[in-house]
Amino acid sequence: MSGRLAQRAVSATLALLAAVVAVPVGLAGQASAAVDETTLPVRVEITAVSPTVLRPGEDLTVRATLHNDGTTELEHVAADVRINAFRVGTRDAVAEWAGRGADDAAGDVEATTTVDDPLAPGDAVAVELTVPAAKIPLYNLPGVWGPRGLAVEATDSGRRVGLERSFVLWYPEESVTPVPVSVLLPFAGPADDPSSTTADTELDAQTAPTGALGQMLAAAQADNDVGLVVDPSLVTRARAGDEQSQTWANQLTAAVNAHDTFTLPWADPDVAALGHADHADLLKVAVDASRTSDAIGTGRPTIVWSAADQTLDQATAGAAAAARVSAVVARTPAAGAASSVTHSTVSTDDGELDRFTPDGTLSSMLVDPTAVEPGATSATITQRALAELAVIAREDEDDPQPVLLAPGRDEVADPQAVRTLMAAFRSAPWARVDDVSTLLIGSASDAKALPEDQTDDSEVSPAAVTALADARQHAIDFSAVTPQPDALLEGVDDETLAPLSIAWRSDAAGRAQVVERSVGSITARTVGLTVAPLSTVNVLGATGTIRPVVRNDLDVPATVQLVITPRKACLQVLPIDPITIDANSSDSVLVDLRATANCEVAITAYLESTDGARVSPVRAFDARVAPTIESVGTYVVAGLLAIGLILGIVRTVRRGQSARRGARTEAETGPAPSLPVLGGTPDEDAGP
């Protein structure tokens, strides 16, 4: 057995012995009469536990305030400190101790003080109790460090009339590996309607000091080691708001520069909805927009934050991985939920994704400590949080799991709680405050397989997502007609992403209207290029020309390709060159036609970008085609003559000479007769 293992074995044995001894003493020291805690008239408020981390040789001092919330005067009031020598070994045990009833065991009395005067209804009195180091019932041995139960009890004539529980954090001198602790606060705004022409009153209300965003900013300002995740579009909106919103935006920007800061995707889109609609492309648009925005500085890594009621599933994780975000923050569990791995790696078809899972109990203390411990004070928050971390540290003393505190989507961190908890984490040797960037590059566990698609009724529908995506893509295709595409596309991404914000989950009806308006507004950008109406065209020859008029009502010049398509082969259109039309002007296009037969033909005309995307409505017109006989005959006769000439040549070559035609041999005819003198007679009658 190694020295460290032997030390742990001895420590565990001694701790168990201490626990066994402590049980009967604690029970014997309890008030004899069990009472229902709802009937206790005195509310005990623990205001200080000093020192926070108790070491051997140190006195323990506890301060408390006793409030008589009952209707009867208490004449013989006293207070005592009780300590349970059991080491609390699990997080469930921590919660169990804190949640015990007033008549349950609370440990042994280690110090007592009396109140001189009676305590009238509505009155309060402060007490201070000190347990000398020699009376502290805990061993000074390696391996026995950790939380113990503490309680302050109020009595009247020996009868318990009030009780509040907390923890003693016992720490003999030794070395432990601290738990990395990180805090992350999200900054996402209310739902936005880009088409609205009225003031953003909801945003102005939230950025006020008492508003949700105002309080979240105060929480961030409470400690510079708190990490931030900010939607850059929120800052842009705030700068366009009232004076209060502008001040808030400036203060947040200053905080960003002092904190470890990430960005949310632009407009904080509903990643689950995008994943379920198979439109990770829109998430990438939002991620790229945040990374390139100078609202809080370019190039910051992007984190996706799950909706408050959304389970991370394969589609959502796949969309996030495809968009190359740095990590996804899973929804914050409820207080008391079973602890899970903080940093894990999720495998998807699009690659691996880092997942952060906040701690439910500690995150709840960040938002509302009384939700974890009713009547919580800064002192009890500190002791409870460090008790939780001590248990985590002891679960794996060589490599303890990191812990992340992050409020839920619908929660706001309490500035005082942030201040108290961060100070507590720095005070304990078993905790270490790390920024989230350090957590991100740390080792991660392999996550269990994610569930299949887990859709939620509050998500924006796949049909709406697709409508927005199609409208945006059509606008992009359309913008290829101009050398100034940015002018044409300005604001398109805002109009596309705004209706996809998670904030719209609480207002499905309003979201549907914004989707409709956004699609209409984006589509309107693709209107402005037209072919003027054409009357019936007459083509009375083998060739002809027409001059359709093309109109550009855009505020930018446009280069287009006129496409004219006859529905019959009797009429052909020769190639047409692209034409550039100035903004808000028109021009005609020369089109050459070729006719091959008499017909009446329907024709369509429209405009395309040079990339082949249709950019105008289709214009239909008719043509009467009647090429002249002469023109047609000329081609026909020329063709026949050429054919005849070729056939004659071939026939002549192939005929050659036959036996009945051409010269015969001398043997057949005899010698050739001599020719007479010109004008004379033949010699055939002359004698020899």
- CATH code, 350: 3.20.110.20
Is residue 17's pLDDT more than 50? no
309: left (phi over 0), alpha (psi -120 to 50) or beta: alpha
**SS3 at position 543:** strand
The Cα–Cα gap between 356 and 376 comes to 28
548-578 pLDDT per residue, tens: 999 999 999 999 999 999 999 999 999 999 9
What is the pLDDT, as a whole number, of residue 37?
45
225-276 pLDDT per residue, tens: 999 999 999 999 999 999 999 999 999 999 999 999 999 999 999 999 999 9
Q: Assess if residue 684 is contained within a domain.
A: no
For residue 197, name the pLDDT band (cuts at 50, 70, 90). confident
Is residue 24's pLDDT more than 50? no
The Cα–Cα gap between 11 and 32 comes to 34
Residue 520 sits in the same domain as residue 547: no
What is the pLDDT, as a whole number, of residue 651?
76
- CATH code, 604: 2.60.40.10
Q: Assess if residue 647 is contained within a domain.
A: no
Residue 409 sits in the same domain as residue 278: yes
Rounded to two decimals, the pTM is: 0.82
Angle, alpha carbons 416-422-428 (nearest 5°): 135
* Number of H-type helices and E-type strands within the chain: 20, 29
Residue 504 sits in the same domain as residue 558: no
With both helix axes pointing from N to C terminus, report the angle between 415-427 and 360-367 in degrees, rounded to the nearest 10. Answer: 130
- State both tokens at 576: 């047409």
Of 136, 152, 174, the position where a domain reaches its end is: 174
366 touches 182 (CB < 8 A): no
Residue 352 sits in the same domain as residue 218: yes
Residue 121 sits in the same domain as residue 254: no
Tokens 């280690």 identify what position? 110
**Total Cβ atoms within 10 A of residue 175:** 8
* Beta strand segments in 448-556, E: 529-531, 537-539, 543-546, 549-552
**SS3 at position 160:** strand
The Cα–Cα gap between 367 and 360 comes to 11
Residue 160 sits in the same domain as residue 211: no
The Cα–Cα gap between 518 and 280 comes to 19
Residue 8 sits in the same domain as residue 143: yes
The Cα–Cα gap between 62 and 151 comes to 10
What is the pLDDT, as a whole number, of residue 106?
94
The Cα–Cα gap between 560 and 613 comes to 10
> Would strands 227-230 and 179-187 be described as parallel, antiparallel, or unpaired?
parallel
Q: Percent of the chain having pLDDT more than 70?
A: 87
Q: CB under 8 Å to 672, separation ≥6 — which residues?
A: 666
Q: Assess if residue 71 is contained within a domain.
A: yes
447-490 pLDDT per residue, tens: 888 888 889 999 999 999 999 999 999 999 999 999 999 999 99
DSSP letter, residue 526: T
Lowest mean pLDDT among 28-37, 39-48, 91-100, 632-641: 28-37
Peptide bond into 671 cis (omega under 30): no
Mean pLDDT of 389-411: 93
95-138 pLDDT per residue, tens: 999 999 988 999 999 999 999 999 999 999 999 999 999 999 99
> Would strands 351-356 and 343-348 be described as parallel, antiparallel, or unpaired?
antiparallel
Residue 428 sits in the same domain as residue 561: no
Total domain count for the chain? 4
Nearest residue to 302 (alpha-carbon basis) of 313, 288, 322 = 288
Q: Assess if residue 685 is contained within a domain.
A: no
DSSP letter, residue 501: B
Q: Assess if residue 639 is contained within a domain.
A: no
Residue 158 sits in the same domain as residue 251: no
Q: Assess if residue 234 is contained within a domain.
A: yes
Residue 297 sits in the same domain as residue 319: yes
276-323 pLDDT per residue, tens: 999 999 999 999 999 999 999 999 999 999 988 888 999 999 999 999
Mean of the per-residue pLDDT values of the chain: 89
Q: Assess if residue 417 is contained within a domain.
A: yes
**Total Cβ atoms within 10 A of residue 52:** 17
Of 502, 524, 546, the position where a domain reaches its end is: 524
Residue 262 sits in the same domain as residue 344: yes
Tokens 């090429």 identify what position? 627
With both helix axes pointing from N to C terminus, report the angle between 280-292 and 314-322 in degrees, rounded to the nearest 10. Answer: 40
Domain that holds residue 16: 3-174
Q: Assess if residue 428 is contained within a domain.
A: yes
Of 524, 546, 572, the position where a domain reaches its end is: 524
- State both tokens at 383: 């002791």
Q: What Å distances lie between residue 88 and 46, 84, 145, 401, CA to CA?
A: 20, 9, 10, 19
Residue 535 sits in the same domain as residue 518: no
